[in-house]
């Protein structure tokens, strides 16, 4: 092959690569708004799922606006943040868990002994969602996240207005193994959370995802959820992240206010 022929081949290849890269970049930019919108709607669907709110054939955004209200709480005190203290990043509409967990202004580091969810850093604030019916709060939906086997899992747990009984549970993002840890998406398993009590009468955190099946005759059955078959590490991860977020380093102080009869969401 001549030198000219080789040079032409290389130039054609480079030209094709350049054209393809321009097309891919253009597509990525033009589709970004659509992708962002789809991610936002998927998150809203999962909040509605956690709250057991049917959205079949419904306008997701409209239904969310009708049924759900949101506030920012400070985790260490359990109090609701005043709207006067909102910032460009710190508001229910713009709150991004991943960004806030990395932001030095809005995060705090966890010690190894406290980091049950294996997330290392945690936002100082979190968004909480109220499900209102006829002007009354019926449920509170809490964002949760933590390490599974292969991924950080992001989801929601819904509790009754007293903050004691689980009303819904779902993950909206994870990378667990399909058919094993990926069974966190199994509707039957998610339904098995409903009706479980997170604490005992004294307020001690009791909820637990066990390795095997829950024995209905067990005195603690009301606090326990079946493990995922063949997914020991994912099961342990779900258990640890739930107990972390419902404990003193997560929503514990907020929940204590509910258990003591306070209504921090009254407006």
Q: What is the pTM for the complete model shown?
A: 0.85
Residue 29: which pLDDT band, with cuts at 50, 70 and 90?
Answer: low
In this predicted model, what pLDDT tens digit does every residue of 178-198 receive, in sequence order? 999 999 999 999 999 999 999
User: For 112-147, how does the pLDDT look when each residue is reduced to its tens digit (9 = 90+)?
Assistant: 999 999 999 999 999 999 998 888 889 999 999 999
Inform me whether the pLDDT recorded for 9 exceeds 80.
no
* Mean of pLDDT over the chain: 89
* Mean pLDDT within 235-244: 97
* Residues, the chain: 267
Mean pLDDT of 72-83: 95
Q: What is the C-alpha separation between 27 and 16, in angstroms, rounded?
A: 16
**31: pLDDT strictly greater than 60:** no
User: Which of 24-33, 72-81, 116-125 is least confident?
Assistant: 24-33
Confidence of residue 267 (pLDDT cuts 50, 70, 90): very low
Banded pLDDT at 55 (limits 50, 70, 90)? confident
Quick one: pLDDT at residue 2? 56
The predicted structure's pLDDT at residue 6: 72
Q: Over 80: is that where the pLDDT of 170 sits? A: yes
Contacts of residue 258, defined as CB under 8 A and 6 or more positions apart, other chains included, come to 140, 161, 162, 163, 164, 264
């Amino acid at each position: 092959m001549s030198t000219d022929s080789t040079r032409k081949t290389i130039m054609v290849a480079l030209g094709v690569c350049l054209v393809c890269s321009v097309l891919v970049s253009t597509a990525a930019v033009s589709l970004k708004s659509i992708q962002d919108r789809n991610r936002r709607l998927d998150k809203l669907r999962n909040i509605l799922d956690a709250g057991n709110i049917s959205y079949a054939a419904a306008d997701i955004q409209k239904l969310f606006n009708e049924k759900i209200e949101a506030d920012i709480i400070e985790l260490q005190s359990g109090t609701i943040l005043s709207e006067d203290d909102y910032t460009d990043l710190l508001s229910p509409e713009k709150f991004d868990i991943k960004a806030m967990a990395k932001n030095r202004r809005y995060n705090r580091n966890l010690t190894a002994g406290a980091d049950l969810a294996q997330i290392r850093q945690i936002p100082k604030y979190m968004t909480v969602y109220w499900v209102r019916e006829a002007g009354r709060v019926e449920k509170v939906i809490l964002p949760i996240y933590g390490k599974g086997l292969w991924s950080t899992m992001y989801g929601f747990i819904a509790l009754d207005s007293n903050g004691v009984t689980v009303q819904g549970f779902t993950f909206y993002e994870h990378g667990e193994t399909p058919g094993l840890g990926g069974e966190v998406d199994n509707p039957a398993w998610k339904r098995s959370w409903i009706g479980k009590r997170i604490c005992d009468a004294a307020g001690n955190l009791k909820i637990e995802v066990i390795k095997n099946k829950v024995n209905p005759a067990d005195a603690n059955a009301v606090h326990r959820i079946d493990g995922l078959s063949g997914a020991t590490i994912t099961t342990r991860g779900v258990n640890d992240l739930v107990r972390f977020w419902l404990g003193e380093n997560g929503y514990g102080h907020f929940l204590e206010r509910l258990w003591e009869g306070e209504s921090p969401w009254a407006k």
